[in-house]
Amino acid sequence: MQEDLQTIQQVYNVLTEFVINYSFQILGAILILLIGGKLAGWLGRIVARFCEKRNLDVTLSRFLGSMVKVLVLTFVVIIAIGKFGISIAPFIAALGAIAFGSSFAIAGPVSNYGAGLVIILTRPFVIGNTITIKGVSGVVDEIRLAITILSTEDDEIITIPNKHIVGEILHNSFANRIVETTVGISYDDNPEQAVDVLHRALAQIEEVCSNPPPQIGIEAFGESSIDLGLRYWVPTKKYFQTLYRANLAVHKALRETGISIPFPQRDVRMKGQTE
């Protein structure tokens, strides 16, 4: 019991001595951290707003603002540590050793961050663009250092690690997505009239973009029909609903003008055997 009391007394004396000797340093370090944190956040927001006013990309503006905030916080922490008379050289050496030892384990995340930095600086796409990569398509909602987030017409969220974007073949159709389809008409019908009818049918659909205008023409000569190809742009978030409306409008317009859509036919002749 006596030994425990002596141990507690020693700990108390050490703590008391530490507080007495370093009370002003502790108070100064806390004030530096509080003021530095506020200053870092303020400078980060200032830089981000300045970049946005200069018409820089939103993602790049946020990235530069975050970088300024991190740099200011780093200097603030170094100054706060220095208030205690502690040298930061050993910490830097230790961090270097830890980083080297863990570099193999975190190679994937690090490559994602590096790829994200390349995307932010080179800007092959921006928020609001429609991109297709490795069979995945969607509208870019957010670009982070490690990942890029897409959304689809069905409100699905697609998360792509940035290392799977950089160095791959990337399709960027900006705010829209192209529809490519085919409709067949009879060889007895006038293809020029059919093309005009299809143009007028698509013009009645508000979601079909007029710039660039729809492209309609003879795509191929099938066995039982003249195949007319249709290519037009629609908003990515309304792709399927516009496609369905356009197909219905095309079918209705062709029927009203007497242009038939033939179905495949085969003539089968049976040869009888004579004895």
Strand order in the sheet with 157-161: 157-161, 147-151, 136-143, 130-133, 171-174
Domain 10-102 -> CATH class? mainly alpha
Q: Per CATH, the architecture of 176-256 is what?
A: 2-Layer Sandwich (3.30)
Structural element, H or E, at residue 138: strand 136-143
DSSP state of 163: G
End-to-end CA, the chain? 124
Give the model's pLDDT for residue 265. Answer: 67
Give the model's pLDDT for residue 227. Answer: 96
Q: Per CATH, the architecture of 125-173 is what?
A: Roll (2.30)
Distance separating alpha carbons of residues 21 and 200, to the nearest angstrom: 87
Mean pLDDT, rounded, of the chain: 84
Give the model's pLDDT for residue 202. Answer: 96
Contact call for residues 61 and 48 (beta carbons, < 8 A): yes
CATH 3.30.70.100 domain position(s) in the chain: 176-256
Report the amino acid identity of residue 46. I
CATH 2.30.30.60 domain position(s) in the chain: 125-173
CATH 1.10.287.1260 domain position(s) in the chain: 10-102
Give the model's pLDDT for residue 207. Answer: 94
Sequential pLDDT tens for the chain (275 residues): 666 667 777 766 766 766 666 666 777 778 888 888 888 889 888 988 888 887 776 777 777 888 888 888 888 887 777 666 666 666 666 666 665 555 554 556 778 888 888 898 888 998 899 999 988 999 999 988 889 999 999 889 999 999 999 989 999 999 899 999 999 999 999 999 999 999 999 999 999 999 999 999 999 999 889 999 999 999 999 999 999 999 999 999 999 999 998 887 666 777 765 54
Nearest to 257 by CA among 206, 199, 180: 199
| Cβ neighbourhood burial of 225 (10 Å; 0-12, 13-18, 19+) | buried
